[in-house]
Structure 1
Amino acid sequence: MKVKNIIKYLFAAFLMLQITACNNDSTEAEPLFDKTPTERLNSRMDELQQVLLSSPEGWKAVYFTDNTILGGYTHLFKFAADGTVEMASDFDESLDTDVIRKSEYQIQLGSTVSLTFTTNNWIHLLSESDNYPIAALRAKGYLGDFQFLYYGQENGEIIFKANRNKQEIRFVKATKADWDNLPKNYAMIPNVIGSSARPLFRLLETNDGTTKHQFDFSFSPITRFAEANSVEAGFSFSYELGIGYSPTGIVVNPAIEVGGQKLSTFVYNDADGSFTSTGTNGVSATIKYSNKPLVLTDDYKLLLSGKGNPYKYFGYIAANLAVAPTTSNYFKSLVAKANAALPANQSISSIYLYFNTAANQTYISYNFNGGKASLNHVVTSKEDAVNKTLILTHDFWAGGISTPAYLKEIDDEFTNPKGLYVKKENFKITYSNVIYTFTSAADSGFRITTYIIN
């Protein structure tokens, strides 16, 4: 037989062996899936329904809708087999969101399994586009959702992602205490904002067990969002933190990483107003008060007389800046007290601080609604170079008047011998004008927020 024919026969025999082997495999192999895709999704729906009903006191979620700009909102859910859910929240004390309301929910099937709150309840407040906390979120609301995509379970928690932006939300089993203590979340808010009886300055201090770092700390209650920036030369680092309230303190998201550990739960200490999260091996993070700024700036030097500085003036405009996070409660209380002493149609509309005018004067101008004429207090300025403060000293009141009684407490803060810390801030409010704050160095809690006008 020719070699060519031998090769043909061998090749044919090889093919037959392969076909036989494949046939044997097809009869003996297990099917890859024992359910169709539809059956698997239906099973997934049943799984989610069963787990939602499995917790006697329901579920709790601290929903951080977008932790790059907003904080967290605690929601409690108790699901029933008839498709109803009881819900409470700490979204807004003025709306009584801690009151339990009943609505409907569905386990829905789309591209994946989802939990959808189909009729209105507290969680829908986070998704309404016309309900927004700041101008940057106009027509966006609180960036929340009411449809959560189901991603399974982990350590007894249910894992969802919001359909709107895929933000992760975890449901943990709720307790009776969670429902009973939800109003205590509201009681924690003033502690996070900061009492007027405590110092104005706050910091975040981290400790990795060997080294401490300090960051200035600012918090906006409107958005429940905080920023902390390093104040150390050669160490540039910042934290942006969504804040959620709890009966005993706060939770932060994202967690603060210190010494390789993630710290997210902070406990409040009423003795000193601090919030502390404690890890292991000496690792901790603490939000606490300071009697003076962590960094003393030279921003005040721009305002000194006799130094060749240009004419500058700054304005506190009540309509815009009374609600600024840097406007202290103590300052606002002094303004309210002064307004109460004025006729009913009059109130302080603005306070301007003028430096290095054409007449080589520095003065404080108090301006009023209701047709009342402005009152100007001429002062002299000097510096405390060691403590980096601007000291304003009484010279005279325009018109030869004495200090009006209703302005005395405010004016005394401006002219306190310990002076004022001056700081150029890095945020804007309503307008593009740069913001400057003037803070009493006497630790009185006095701080005014101003626009630089010129």
Structure 2
Amino acid sequence: MKIKNIYKYLFAAILILHLSSCNNNTDADQLFDETPTTRINNQKSELNTALLSSQFGWKAVYFTDNTVLGGYTHLFKFAQDGTVEMASDFDADTNVYKSEYAIQLGSTVSLTFTTKNRIHLLSESDNYPIPALRAKGYLGDFQFLYYGQENGEIIFKANRNGTEIRFVKATADDWAKLPQNLVMEQNVIGSDDRPLFRLLETTDGTTTHKFDFSFSEVTRFAESNSIETGYSISYNMGVGYTPTGIVVSPAVEVGGQKLSNFVYNDADGSFTATGTGGVKAEIKYSNKPLIITDDYKNFLDGKPQMVISFITANLYTAPTTSTYFKTLFDAANATLPANQKITRIQIYFNSAFGNYIEYRFAGGRPSVYHNFTTSADDTNKRIILTHDSWDNGSAYIPAPAFLKNLDDEFFNAAGLYLKKEAFKIQFTNNIYTVTSSTNNFRTTTYQL
């Protein structure tokens, strides 16, 4: 090829590359023709339009931290003048309150509830449900960072911890039926007419697995652990209430499907989430513990001393302390002066002084002691406590009448289940539960 032809082709190639570069720059200019301020202002306008667009406002089930807490339903009706009407199922007060909000500009657009309303109950550090959340409150926020819209929902993330919150369009029924969430709460807690024991049962259409199930009403949080040897799956989930059941987060994953909406059946007290192809998850009652251990044997005659103690300040709110136990406990306390309530129920096995229950009180009131003997029901794996005598540390006394209903449950002739639990509560002490074999009496104790 002649030299002049080489130069000709080289010049043509350079010209083509130059023209292509010019076109690409034009496209880039079009992509970035908006300044950051313009883009943020457009987002602000977009969010404002969305908030005002729903006739009955918006609903959000706010799971502030689904590793420790459940969900709290909030309803919002935004107005052009910067006010918002709000209601929630945080507690029994489901009334509607008005406050102010603002769409604020920063590094991103945020929805901020600028004056106090129901949403702020989740962010107050001095309002906490359990000691572990002292000075942290319910881990909630009142500033939501705007992340766009999807399928008609508005997506936010909490400024405090990045938790996602989704606003879905509310209906007139959502406002009218909000109080029914708290009726459903009682179904989740379970009445004394239902069995004490619960399980979560999952099926993928062919294989069924069972998990224990415990629920804490103060945190709206449930824990479920497999009861099958060699199958170590657990489902720990926050629970939110609806008029027809519950919604859980994170979802229960079964057969590759995520199940989060459980429907309540009043006939048997169950909650069922149904997928496709036979997939489902069901929370239901059981008439006996899912796992019956041999732990009771450690408390029988001839064994080393064992002391277990229900300490009111730490264990009254434990999820394994049953409502029925607390009812009897509160009734006994109601007969006492305000400064002399029960602080401990401490049970001694095989001590130097024998077996006895010590009822310890505040305010200088002296302890009383119920002495007993033990026997075993090995067939059903239960321990039986049999009455011997009462004393005050120095002399025998008549049985205290105010303790009768509470104390009688420890002396159920059918016996008690004793179980060493896998979890801890505030301290490193082992936890033992003491459970009636015939009713919903269960207390939670530390091993001392």
What TM-score do the two structures reach when normalised by structure 1? 0.90
The answer (yes or no) to whether the contact 2:132–2:426 under 8 Å persists in 1 is: no
CA displacement at 1:28 relative to structure 2: 9.5
Match of 1:166 in 2: 162
**Candidates 416, 425, 440, aligned match of 1:420:** 416
Deviations along 1:389-408, whole A, 9 cap, x unmatched?
A: 11112233344444343333
Match of 1:62 in 2: 61
Stretch deviating more after TM superposition (43-52 or 366-375): 366-375
- Against the structure 1 CA distance between its residues 28 and 326, is the aligned structure 2 distance closer, same or farther, given a 3 Å change threshold? closer
The answer (yes or no) to whether the contact 2:244–2:263 under 8 Å persists in 1 is: yes
User: Is there any run of 5+ residues in structure 2 with no aligned partner, and where?
Assistant: none
If you compute each CA radius of gyration, which structure gives the higher value, 1 or 2?
1
The answer (yes or no) to whether the contact 1:202–1:290 under 8 Å persists in 2 is: yes
**Candidates 313, 324, 345, aligned match of 1:330:** 324
Determine whether 1:250 maps to 2:243: no
Output the amino acid matched with 2:189.
I
- Against the structure 1 CA distance between its residues 115 and 7, is the aligned structure 2 distance closer, same or farther, given a 3 Å change threshold? farther
Output the amino acid matched with 1:36.
E
Q: Match of 2:186, SS? A: helix
Match of 1:215 in 2: 211
What TM-score do the two structures reach when normalised by structure 2? 0.91
Stretch deviating more after TM superposition (16-25 or 52-61): 16-25
Once residues 315 and 21 of structure 2 are traced to their aligned partners in structure 1, the CA distance between those partners, rounded to angstroms, is 78
Match of 2:50 in 1: 51
The answer (yes or no) to whether the contact 1:196–1:328 under 8 Å persists in 2 is: no
Match of 1:365 in 2: 358
Identical-residue share of aligned pairs (%):
64
CA displacement at 1:323 relative to structure 2: 2.6
Once residues 65 and 405 of structure 1 are traced to their aligned partners in structure 2, the CA distance between those partners, rounded to angstroms, is 46
Output the amino acid matched with 2:294.
D
Match of 2:389 in 1: 396
Output the amino acid matched with 2:85.
E
Determine whether 1:408 maps to 2:404: yes
What number of residue pairs does the alignment pair up?
442
- Against the structure 1 CA distance between its residues 351 and 14, is the aligned structure 2 distance closer, same or farther, given a 3 Å change threshold? same
Once residues 342 and 171 of structure 1 are traced to their aligned partners in structure 2, the CA distance between those partners, rounded to angstroms, is 49
Deviations along 1:114-152, whole A, 9 cap, x unmatched?
A: 222233222222223333222322332222222222222
The answer (yes or no) to whether the contact 2:122–2:138 under 8 Å persists in 1 is: yes
Match of 2:315 in 1: 321
CA displacement at 1:336 relative to structure 2: 3.2
Match of 1:281 in 2: 277
Determine whether 1:131 maps to 2:124: no
- Against the structure 1 CA distance between its residues 84 and 419, is the aligned structure 2 distance closer, same or farther, given a 3 Å change threshold? same
Stretch deviating more after TM superposition (259-268 or 340-349): 340-349
**Candidates 294, 301, 306, aligned match of 1:305:** 301
Over aligned residues, Cα RMSD in angstroms?
A: 2.5
Match of 1:351 in 2: 345
Determine whether 1:451 maps to 2:442: no
Stretch deviating more after TM superposition (210-219 or 404-413): 404-413
Q: Match of 1:18, SS? A: helix
Once residues 25 and 343 of structure 1 are traced to their aligned partners in structure 2, the CA distance between those partners, rounded to angstroms, is 88
Match of 1:261 in 2: 257
- Against the structure 1 CA distance between its residues 112 and 291, is the aligned structure 2 distance closer, same or farther, given a 3 Å change threshold? same
Match of 2:39 in 1: 40
Output the amino acid matched with 1:320.
N
Q: Match of 1:244, SS? A: strand
The answer (yes or no) to whether the contact 2:240–2:247 under 8 Å persists in 1 is: yes
Q: Match of 1:105, SS? A: strand
Output the amino acid matched with 1:238.
S
Determine whether 1:229 maps to 2:225: yes
Deviations along 1:223-270, whole A, 9 cap, x unmatched?
A: 211110000112111011011111111100011011121110111122
Deviations along 1:18-74, whole A, 9 cap, x unmatched?
A: 236524763698534364133333322222221221111111111111111111111
The answer (yes or no) to whether the contact 1:378–1:394 under 8 Å persists in 2 is: yes
Once residues 119 and 343 of structure 2 are traced to their aligned partners in structure 1, the CA distance between those partners, rounded to angstroms, is 38
- Against the structure 1 CA distance between its residues 171 and 311, is the aligned structure 2 distance closer, same or farther, given a 3 Å change threshold? same
Once residues 410 and 16 of structure 1 are traced to their aligned partners in structure 2, the CA distance between those partners, rounded to angstroms, is 99
Deviations along 1:354-402, whole A, 9 cap, x unmatched?
A: 111124x212223334544433222211211121111112233344444
